[in-house]
Structure 1
Amino acid sequence: MKITFINFLILSLSSFRLTRLLVFDKITEFIRSPFFDEISEENEDGEIEVFYLPKKTGVKKFMGELLSCYWCTGIWAAALIVALYYISPDYSTPIILILAIAGLASILEFFVQYFIEK
């Protein structure tokens, strides 16, 4: 199957959005939480700051390090998106398209927040 520029763009945007979903979004916190220890510290202003550190050993450590690295998770998210696209384009295309549209929307929202609402 040939990848056109528009296919490449859609796959890229969906990979971007899937990566953000896995690494940062609140809705997928339940996926990340088994792989991290939550550390709370009081800062100079007396406010409590929460940090998430990968577990210390084994598979949980590996997954915690993977999920704390945007670049690392991005490679696996891209591999998953491309594999789904090639293996089952009929079933994966709607999911990929939804992720791509959400990815573009998040990029546009950044520009709106940065340039218009400043």
Structure 2
Amino acid sequence: MSLFTAFNVLMIYLLHRSNTLFWPIDRLSLFVLGLAAWRGANMIANEEITKSVRAPFVDVVEKNGKSVEQPKPYGWRGAVGSLIYCSSCTGVWVAAILVYSHAFFPVTVSIIALILTLSACERFFTVIFDVLKKRT
């Protein structure tokens, strides 16, 4: 997965340098779209609000006294469940949707990407503040 992602980043960079991209993308836009893809994938794979999206593709089981989701064990729902439950797998799809949508609807997707990026920043700050709180 990392190799696939690195290859795509390299290709986008090379296309950008040769001015063959069909829309201009700078480093900041790439960073914003990257954080947006991470946050979007994280929301789909892990957040409570998207539980209904994951429901047809996962089973809820008890582990150590807690209810946890796991992909269905077989069939196409199991395959989709494995993809949805894996945030890095989902990230590839979210990134592709963001990139292709950005090509056709740059203003709308830029706003959506910025919202997701700010949400990602909030997540990072929450983790940092929680770590700092535990130290004191």
Whole-angstrom distance in 2 between the partners of 1:11 and 1:52: 28
Q: What do residues 50-103 of structure 1 show as CA deviations (whole Å, max 9, x unaligned)?
A: 232212333211111001212111111111111111121122221111111111
> Mind listing any 5+ residue stretches in structure 2 that lack a counterpart?
1-22
Aligned pairs (5 A) from 1:1-118: 1-41=23-63, 43=64, 48-114=65-131, 116-118=132-134
In structure 1, distance between residues paired with 2:115 and 2:33:
11
CA distance in 2, matches of 1:21, 1:32: 11
CA distance in 2, matches of 1:22, 1:64: 11
Q: Aligned partners of 1:71, 1:87: CA distance in 2, in Å?
A: 25
RMSD of aligned C-alpha atoms?
Answer: 1.4
**What amino acid sits opposite 1:117 in the alignment?**
K
Please report how far the alpha carbon of residue 16 of structure 1 lies from its aligned counterpart in structure 2 after TM superposition: 1.1
SS of match in other structure, 1:39: strand
Structure scoring higher RCO (CA < 8 A, sep ≥ 6) equals: 1
Q: Distance in 2 between matches of 1:16 and 1:8?
A: 12
Q: Distance in 1 between matches of 2:78 and 2:116?
A: 28
Normalised to the residue count of structure 1, the TM-score between the two structures is 0.86
Displacement over 4 Å in runs of 4+: none
Name the TM-score, length of structure 2 as normaliser. Answer: 0.76
In structure 1, the gaps of 5 or more residues are: none
The amino acid of 1:74's aligned partner reads G
Instruction: Return the alpha-carbon distance in structure 2 between the equivalents of residues 10 and 53 of structure 1.
Output: 30
Q: Specify which structure has the higher proportion of helix.
A: 2
